[in-house]
Amino acid sequence: MNPPVSIISGMVHNHELPSLLSPEAVQQVQDFHQSISMYKKTPLIELPELARKLGINNIFVKDESHRFRLNSFKSLGATYAMAKIIAAYINMDEHHLDYDFLTSADVKNKIKDLVFITATDGNHGKGVAWAASVFGCQAIVFMPKGSQDCRADAIRAINDTLVKITDLNYDDTVRLAYETAEKNGYYLIQDTGFEGYEDVPNAITQGYTTMVWEAISQLSDFGIAKPTHVFLQAGVGSMAGSVLGYLAHCYQKNPPITTIVEPSTVACIYKSVQVGNGQPQIIAGNPETIMAGLNCGEPNPLTWPILRDFASFYASCPDWVTELGMKTLANPIETDGKIISGESGAVGLGLLISLCEDEQLDAFKQELQLNPASTVLLFSTEGDTDPENYAAIINKQEKNPILID
Protein backbone atom coordinates (compact mmCIF):
# COMPACT_ATOMS: atom_id res chain seq x y z
CA MET A 1 0.00 0.00 0.00
CA ASN A 2 1.34 3.44 -0.93
CA PRO A 3 2.15 5.84 1.92
CA PRO A 4 -0.33 8.72 1.99
CA VAL A 5 -0.23 12.26 0.66
CA SER A 6 -0.84 15.00 3.22
CA ILE A 7 -2.06 18.53 2.53
CA ILE A 8 -2.53 21.50 4.84
CA SER A 9 -3.93 24.95 4.12
CA GLY A 10 -2.06 28.23 4.37
CA MET A 11 -1.62 30.56 7.30
CA VAL A 12 -3.17 34.00 7.66
CA HIS A 13 -0.65 36.84 7.46
CA ASN A 14 -0.40 40.39 6.23
CA HIS A 15 0.37 40.01 2.53
CA GLU A 16 3.05 42.54 1.59
CA LEU A 17 4.00 42.02 -2.03
CA PRO A 18 7.71 41.18 -2.47
CA SER A 19 9.12 44.20 -4.31
CA LEU A 20 12.13 42.12 -5.41
CA LEU A 21 9.87 40.11 -7.72
CA SER A 22 7.68 42.78 -9.26
CA PRO A 23 7.51 42.82 -13.08
CA GLU A 24 9.32 46.17 -13.02
CA ALA A 25 12.11 44.87 -10.77
CA VAL A 26 12.80 41.81 -12.92
CA GLN A 27 12.48 43.39 -16.36
CA GLN A 28 16.27 43.65 -16.43
CA VAL A 29 16.46 39.89 -15.78
CA GLN A 30 14.39 39.13 -18.86
CA ASP A 31 16.41 41.65 -20.89
CA PHE A 32 19.65 39.95 -19.86
CA HIS A 33 18.46 36.44 -20.63
CA GLN A 34 17.17 37.53 -24.02
CA SER A 35 20.62 38.96 -24.80
CA ILE A 36 22.09 35.43 -24.58
CA SER A 37 22.57 34.19 -28.13
CA MET A 38 21.21 30.69 -27.44
CA TYR A 39 18.17 31.96 -25.51
CA LYS A 40 14.71 30.85 -26.54
CA LYS A 41 11.53 30.20 -24.61
CA THR A 42 11.15 26.66 -23.36
CA PRO A 43 7.97 24.87 -24.50
CA LEU A 44 4.65 25.16 -22.70
CA ILE A 45 2.96 21.83 -23.37
CA GLU A 46 -0.83 21.52 -23.36
CA LEU A 47 -2.29 18.24 -22.05
CA PRO A 48 -6.01 18.47 -22.93
CA GLU A 49 -6.61 14.70 -23.06
CA LEU A 50 -5.20 14.15 -19.58
CA ALA A 51 -7.24 17.11 -18.32
CA ARG A 52 -10.38 15.57 -19.79
CA LYS A 53 -9.64 12.25 -18.08
CA LEU A 54 -9.13 14.05 -14.78
CA GLY A 55 -12.31 16.09 -15.12
CA ILE A 56 -10.68 19.52 -15.28
CA ASN A 57 -10.51 22.16 -18.00
CA ASN A 58 -6.84 21.98 -18.99
CA ILE A 59 -3.27 21.30 -17.92
CA PHE A 60 -0.18 23.17 -19.09
CA VAL A 61 3.37 22.01 -18.33
CA LYS A 62 6.39 24.28 -18.73
CA ASP A 63 9.13 21.92 -19.98
CA GLU A 64 12.47 23.17 -18.65
CA SER A 65 14.45 20.21 -19.95
CA HIS A 66 15.15 22.38 -23.02
CA ARG A 67 16.73 25.30 -21.15
CA PHE A 68 20.12 26.11 -22.73
CA ARG A 69 20.49 22.39 -23.51
CA LEU A 70 21.25 21.79 -19.81
CA ASN A 71 18.17 19.70 -18.98
CA SER A 72 17.09 22.03 -16.16
CA PHE A 73 15.92 25.57 -15.37
CA LYS A 74 18.73 26.29 -12.91
CA SER A 75 20.98 28.15 -15.36
CA LEU A 76 18.50 31.05 -15.33
CA GLY A 77 19.49 31.92 -11.78
CA ALA A 78 23.18 31.12 -12.06
CA THR A 79 23.78 33.19 -15.20
CA TYR A 80 22.00 36.26 -13.86
CA ALA A 81 23.66 36.19 -10.43
CA MET A 82 27.09 35.61 -11.96
CA ALA A 83 26.56 38.41 -14.47
CA LYS A 84 25.78 40.82 -11.62
CA ILE A 85 28.92 39.80 -9.73
CA ILE A 86 31.06 40.25 -12.85
CA ALA A 87 29.47 43.64 -13.57
CA ALA A 88 30.33 44.83 -10.06
CA TYR A 89 33.87 43.46 -10.41
CA ILE A 90 34.54 45.47 -13.58
CA ASN A 91 32.59 48.55 -12.36
CA MET A 92 29.83 48.16 -14.95
CA ASP A 93 26.23 49.27 -14.40
CA GLU A 94 24.54 46.05 -13.22
CA HIS A 95 21.16 47.36 -14.34
CA HIS A 96 22.14 47.13 -18.00
CA LEU A 97 23.69 43.70 -18.30
CA ASP A 98 24.52 42.46 -21.78
CA TYR A 99 25.69 38.93 -22.48
CA ASP A 100 27.77 39.79 -25.55
CA PHE A 101 29.67 42.48 -23.68
CA LEU A 102 30.23 40.32 -20.59
CA THR A 103 31.61 37.50 -22.73
CA SER A 104 33.83 39.74 -24.86
CA ALA A 105 37.56 39.04 -24.99
CA ASP A 106 38.35 42.23 -23.08
CA VAL A 107 36.05 41.38 -20.16
CA LYS A 108 37.10 37.72 -20.11
CA ASN A 109 40.71 38.81 -19.76
CA LYS A 110 39.80 40.92 -16.72
CA ILE A 111 37.86 38.16 -14.94
CA LYS A 112 39.74 35.02 -15.98
CA ASP A 113 41.03 34.41 -12.45
CA LEU A 114 37.62 34.58 -10.75
CA VAL A 115 36.52 31.35 -9.08
CA PHE A 116 32.87 30.59 -8.32
CA ILE A 117 31.89 27.89 -5.86
CA THR A 118 28.58 26.29 -4.95
CA ALA A 119 26.87 23.36 -3.27
CA THR A 120 24.33 21.36 -5.24
CA ASP A 121 22.28 18.21 -5.58
CA GLY A 122 23.06 18.37 -9.30
CA ASN A 123 21.14 20.84 -11.45
CA HIS A 124 22.21 24.07 -9.77
CA GLY A 125 25.86 23.01 -9.87
CA LYS A 126 25.55 22.22 -13.55
CA GLY A 127 24.08 25.67 -14.13
CA VAL A 128 26.92 27.33 -12.19
CA ALA A 129 29.57 25.33 -14.04
CA TRP A 130 28.03 26.25 -17.39
CA ALA A 131 27.71 29.94 -16.51
CA ALA A 132 31.33 30.06 -15.33
CA SER A 133 32.46 28.40 -18.55
CA VAL A 134 30.68 30.87 -20.84
CA PHE A 135 32.06 33.82 -18.87
CA GLY A 136 35.56 32.32 -19.01
CA CYS A 137 35.89 31.71 -15.27
CA GLN A 138 36.46 28.68 -13.06
CA ALA A 139 33.92 26.80 -10.92
CA ILE A 140 34.13 24.44 -7.96
CA VAL A 141 31.12 22.33 -7.03
CA PHE A 142 30.47 20.47 -3.77
CA MET A 143 27.77 17.79 -3.65
CA PRO A 144 26.11 16.16 -0.62
CA LYS A 145 26.47 12.61 0.59
CA GLY A 146 24.60 10.14 -1.61
CA SER A 147 24.82 12.21 -4.80
CA GLN A 148 24.72 10.10 -7.93
CA ASP A 149 27.99 9.78 -9.85
CA CYS A 150 26.18 10.52 -13.12
CA ARG A 151 25.14 13.94 -11.81
CA ALA A 152 28.71 14.68 -10.71
CA ASP A 153 30.09 13.49 -14.05
CA ALA A 154 27.66 15.74 -15.94
CA ILE A 155 29.07 18.74 -14.06
CA ARG A 156 32.70 17.64 -14.54
CA ALA A 157 32.06 17.39 -18.28
CA ILE A 158 31.52 21.17 -18.40
CA ASN A 159 34.95 22.77 -18.72
CA ASP A 160 36.51 20.02 -16.56
CA THR A 161 34.86 21.54 -13.46
CA LEU A 162 36.22 20.40 -10.10
CA VAL A 163 33.51 18.40 -8.30
CA LYS A 164 33.70 16.88 -4.82
CA ILE A 165 31.04 14.64 -3.26
CA THR A 166 31.16 15.26 0.49
CA ASP A 167 30.07 13.09 3.42
CA LEU A 168 27.62 15.81 4.55
CA ASN A 169 23.93 16.45 3.95
CA TYR A 170 22.89 19.20 1.55
CA ASP A 171 22.59 22.01 4.09
CA ASP A 172 25.96 21.25 5.71
CA THR A 173 27.49 21.07 2.22
CA VAL A 174 26.23 24.62 1.63
CA ARG A 175 27.99 25.70 4.81
CA LEU A 176 31.19 23.98 3.65
CA ALA A 177 31.03 25.82 0.31
CA TYR A 178 30.58 29.13 2.15
CA GLU A 179 33.54 28.46 4.45
CA THR A 180 35.70 27.47 1.47
CA ALA A 181 34.74 30.63 -0.38
CA GLU A 182 35.55 32.82 2.62
CA LYS A 183 38.92 31.14 3.15
CA ASN A 184 40.05 31.34 -0.48
CA GLY A 185 38.44 34.49 -1.81
CA TYR A 186 36.02 32.62 -4.09
CA TYR A 187 32.56 33.86 -5.02
CA LEU A 188 29.75 31.76 -3.55
CA ILE A 189 26.84 31.25 -5.99
CA GLN A 190 24.17 29.71 -3.75
CA ASP A 191 20.40 29.67 -4.21
CA THR A 192 19.66 29.89 -0.49
CA GLY A 193 20.47 32.75 1.84
CA PHE A 194 21.52 33.36 5.42
CA GLU A 195 22.52 36.33 7.55
CA GLY A 196 25.07 38.38 5.66
CA TYR A 197 24.50 36.50 2.41
CA GLU A 198 21.46 37.85 0.62
CA ASP A 199 22.35 39.63 -2.62
CA VAL A 200 23.39 36.55 -4.63
CA PRO A 201 20.49 34.25 -3.63
CA ASN A 202 18.08 37.13 -4.26
CA ALA A 203 19.58 37.58 -7.73
CA ILE A 204 19.20 33.84 -8.38
CA THR A 205 15.58 34.00 -7.27
CA GLN A 206 15.03 36.93 -9.62
CA GLY A 207 16.71 34.95 -12.38
CA TYR A 208 14.10 32.22 -12.15
CA THR A 209 11.31 34.68 -12.96
CA THR A 210 12.12 34.45 -16.66
CA MET A 211 10.54 31.00 -16.58
CA VAL A 212 7.19 32.21 -15.22
CA TRP A 213 7.23 35.35 -17.37
CA GLU A 214 7.52 33.10 -20.41
CA ALA A 215 4.74 30.83 -19.15
CA ILE A 216 2.29 33.71 -18.69
CA SER A 217 3.05 34.96 -22.20
CA GLN A 218 2.60 31.47 -23.63
CA LEU A 219 -0.70 30.96 -21.79
CA SER A 220 -1.90 34.17 -23.42
CA ASP A 221 -1.13 32.60 -26.80
CA PHE A 222 -3.57 29.83 -25.85
CA GLY A 223 -6.17 32.44 -24.92
CA ILE A 224 -5.70 31.88 -21.17
CA ALA A 225 -5.73 35.06 -19.08
CA LYS A 226 -4.45 33.24 -16.00
CA PRO A 227 -4.24 29.73 -14.54
CA THR A 228 -6.71 28.91 -11.78
CA HIS A 229 -4.22 26.57 -10.08
CA VAL A 230 -0.43 26.34 -9.86
CA PHE A 231 1.59 23.51 -8.29
CA LEU A 232 5.19 24.42 -7.33
CA GLN A 233 7.72 21.91 -6.04
CA ALA A 234 10.13 23.13 -3.39
CA GLY A 235 13.53 22.22 -2.00
CA VAL A 236 14.87 25.31 -0.23
CA GLY A 237 11.99 27.15 -1.90
CA SER A 238 13.84 29.62 -4.14
CA MET A 239 12.14 28.55 -7.38
CA ALA A 240 8.74 28.26 -5.73
CA GLY A 241 9.18 31.64 -4.06
CA SER A 242 10.29 33.23 -7.31
CA VAL A 243 7.29 32.00 -9.28
CA LEU A 244 4.79 32.64 -6.49
CA GLY A 245 6.12 36.14 -5.80
CA TYR A 246 5.91 37.08 -9.47
CA LEU A 247 2.38 35.64 -9.78
CA ALA A 248 1.31 37.55 -6.68
CA HIS A 249 2.19 40.79 -8.47
CA CYS A 250 0.58 39.80 -11.77
CA TYR A 251 -2.72 38.63 -10.29
CA GLN A 252 -3.13 40.72 -7.14
CA LYS A 253 -6.92 40.83 -7.24
CA ASN A 254 -7.51 37.19 -8.18
CA PRO A 255 -4.39 35.03 -7.66
CA PRO A 256 -4.21 31.37 -8.69
CA ILE A 257 -4.70 28.74 -5.99
CA THR A 258 -1.07 27.75 -5.42
CA THR A 259 0.11 24.55 -3.74
CA ILE A 260 3.71 24.05 -2.59
CA VAL A 261 4.77 20.42 -3.08
CA GLU A 262 7.63 18.65 -1.25
CA PRO A 263 8.97 15.13 -0.60
CA SER A 264 7.40 13.79 2.58
CA THR A 265 10.78 12.86 4.09
CA VAL A 266 12.15 16.38 3.85
CA ALA A 267 9.13 18.70 3.74
CA CYS A 268 10.65 21.68 5.55
CA ILE A 269 8.20 24.24 4.12
CA TYR A 270 5.25 22.03 5.05
CA LYS A 271 6.68 21.57 8.56
CA SER A 272 7.25 25.32 8.90
CA VAL A 273 3.60 26.03 8.11
CA GLN A 274 2.43 23.16 10.32
CA VAL A 275 4.35 24.48 13.35
CA GLY A 276 2.57 27.77 12.78
CA ASN A 277 4.86 30.28 14.50
CA GLY A 278 5.72 32.04 11.24
CA GLN A 279 9.37 30.95 11.36
CA PRO A 280 11.13 28.50 9.03
CA GLN A 281 11.73 25.06 10.52
CA ILE A 282 14.65 22.69 9.88
CA ILE A 283 14.64 18.98 9.09
CA ALA A 284 18.03 17.66 10.14
CA GLY A 285 19.88 14.42 9.44
CA ASN A 286 20.16 12.64 6.12
CA PRO A 287 16.62 12.17 4.78
CA GLU A 288 16.22 10.11 1.63
CA THR A 289 14.05 10.74 -1.42
CA ILE A 290 14.41 10.06 -5.13
CA MET A 291 13.63 13.76 -5.63
CA ALA A 292 17.30 14.72 -5.28
CA GLY A 293 16.82 18.35 -6.27
CA LEU A 294 14.22 18.79 -3.50
CA ASN A 295 16.21 17.04 -0.75
CA CYS A 296 16.85 20.18 1.32
CA GLY A 297 16.10 20.41 5.03
CA GLU A 298 16.36 24.18 5.57
CA PRO A 299 14.10 26.72 3.82
CA ASN A 300 15.68 29.70 2.13
CA PRO A 301 14.88 32.41 4.72
CA LEU A 302 14.66 34.99 1.92
CA THR A 303 11.81 33.26 0.08
CA TRP A 304 10.15 31.60 3.07
CA PRO A 305 7.96 34.67 3.83
CA ILE A 306 6.63 34.57 0.25
CA LEU A 307 5.74 30.88 0.53
CA ARG A 308 4.22 31.44 3.97
CA ASP A 309 2.12 34.46 3.00
CA PHE A 310 0.99 33.76 -0.56
CA ALA A 311 0.61 30.00 -1.03
CA SER A 312 -2.83 28.48 -0.56
CA PHE A 313 -1.85 24.90 0.33
CA TYR A 314 1.20 22.79 1.18
CA ALA A 315 1.59 19.13 0.23
CA SER A 316 3.86 16.42 1.59
CA CYS A 317 4.28 13.67 -1.03
CA PRO A 318 5.95 10.24 -0.91
CA ASP A 319 8.20 9.23 -3.79
CA TRP A 320 5.46 7.24 -5.54
CA VAL A 321 3.71 10.53 -6.33
CA THR A 322 6.53 11.81 -8.50
CA GLU A 323 6.92 8.37 -10.09
CA LEU A 324 3.28 8.60 -11.08
CA GLY A 325 3.89 12.01 -12.65
CA MET A 326 7.00 10.83 -14.49
CA LYS A 327 5.25 7.78 -15.95
CA THR A 328 2.22 9.78 -17.05
CA LEU A 329 4.31 12.42 -18.82
CA ALA A 330 6.43 9.73 -20.49
CA ASN A 331 3.34 7.87 -21.71
CA PRO A 332 0.90 10.59 -22.78
CA ILE A 333 -2.76 9.95 -23.45
CA GLU A 334 -3.78 9.96 -27.11
CA THR A 335 -2.65 13.23 -28.76
CA ASP A 336 -1.07 14.83 -25.67
CA GLY A 337 2.63 15.66 -26.00
CA LYS A 338 5.32 13.54 -24.36
CA ILE A 339 7.48 15.19 -21.70
CA ILE A 340 10.64 13.72 -20.22
CA SER A 341 10.43 14.86 -16.61
CA GLY A 342 12.86 13.86 -13.88
CA GLU A 343 12.25 12.94 -10.26
CA SER A 344 12.16 16.57 -9.07
CA GLY A 345 10.14 17.79 -12.04
CA ALA A 346 7.02 15.62 -12.06
CA VAL A 347 5.79 15.59 -8.47
CA GLY A 348 3.27 18.39 -9.11
CA LEU A 349 1.56 16.41 -11.85
CA GLY A 350 1.63 13.25 -9.75
CA LEU A 351 -0.16 15.12 -6.98
CA LEU A 352 -2.74 16.56 -9.38
CA ILE A 353 -3.54 13.10 -10.75
CA SER A 354 -3.81 11.69 -7.24
CA LEU A 355 -6.16 14.44 -6.13
CA CYS A 356 -8.43 13.87 -9.12
CA GLU A 357 -8.36 10.05 -9.14
CA ASP A 358 -7.99 8.86 -5.54
CA GLU A 359 -11.31 8.88 -3.67
CA GLN A 360 -9.43 9.05 -0.38
CA LEU A 361 -8.13 12.47 -1.41
CA ASP A 362 -11.52 13.79 -2.50
CA ALA A 363 -11.82 16.11 0.50
CA PHE A 364 -8.51 17.72 -0.46
CA LYS A 365 -9.67 17.99 -4.07
CA GLN A 366 -12.79 19.84 -2.96
CA GLU A 367 -10.79 22.11 -0.68
CA LEU A 368 -8.44 23.01 -3.55
CA GLN A 369 -11.52 23.71 -5.73
CA LEU A 370 -10.34 21.45 -8.54
CA ASN A 371 -13.30 21.15 -10.91
CA PRO A 372 -14.24 21.23 -14.62
CA ALA A 373 -13.39 24.95 -14.79
CA SER A 374 -9.81 24.49 -13.51
CA THR A 375 -6.78 25.34 -15.65
CA VAL A 376 -3.59 24.06 -14.02
CA LEU A 377 -0.04 25.32 -14.61
CA LEU A 378 2.89 23.05 -13.73
CA PHE A 379 6.65 23.44 -14.06
CA SER A 380 8.68 20.39 -15.09
CA THR A 381 11.96 21.80 -13.81
CA GLU A 382 14.24 19.04 -15.09
CA GLY A 383 14.52 16.27 -17.64
CA ASP A 384 16.20 12.89 -17.15
CA THR A 385 19.14 14.24 -15.17
CA ASP A 386 19.73 10.73 -13.80
CA PRO A 387 19.11 8.71 -16.99
CA GLU A 388 19.51 5.27 -15.40
CA ASN A 389 17.10 5.93 -12.57
CA TYR A 390 14.69 7.67 -14.92
CA ALA A 391 14.58 4.63 -17.19
CA ALA A 392 14.15 2.28 -14.21
CA ILE A 393 11.15 4.26 -12.95
CA ILE A 394 9.51 4.60 -16.36
CA ASN A 395 9.95 0.88 -17.08
CA LYS A 396 8.62 -0.41 -13.77
CA GLN A 397 6.11 -3.13 -14.50
CA GLU A 398 3.85 -2.84 -11.47
CA LYS A 399 0.72 -0.80 -12.09
CA ASN A 400 -0.14 2.05 -9.78
CA PRO A 401 -3.89 1.87 -9.17
CA ILE A 402 -4.24 5.62 -9.67
CA LEU A 403 -2.42 5.71 -13.01
CA ILE A 404 -4.86 6.43 -15.82
CA ASP A 405 -5.07 3.90 -18.64
Residue among 69, 94, 73 nearest 84 (CA): 94
Classify burial at 270, counting beta carbons within 10 Å of its beta carbon; exposed 0-12, middle 13-18, buried 19 or more: buried
Among 53, 74, 126, 271, the one annotated catalytic: 74
Query: Phi and psi dihedrals of 231, rounded to 5?
Result: -115, 125
Separation of alpha carbons 397 and 148, rounded Å: 24
The DSSP code for 361 is G
Q: Which strand (E) or helix (H) includes residue 162?
A: strand 162-165
- Residue 113 designated active-site: no
Which residues are CB-neighbours of 402 under 8 A, at least 6 positions away?
324, 353, 354, 357, 358
Spot the catalytic one: 62, 84, 121, 271.
121
Q: Are 126 and 158 in contact (CB under 8 A)?
A: yes
Whether 99 and 32 have beta carbons less than 8 Å apart is answered as yes
Is 153 considered catalytic here?
Answer: no
159/132 Cα distance (integer angstroms): 9
**Count of alpha carbons within 13 Å of 121, Cβ hemisphere only?**
23
Catalytic (active-site) positions: 74, 121
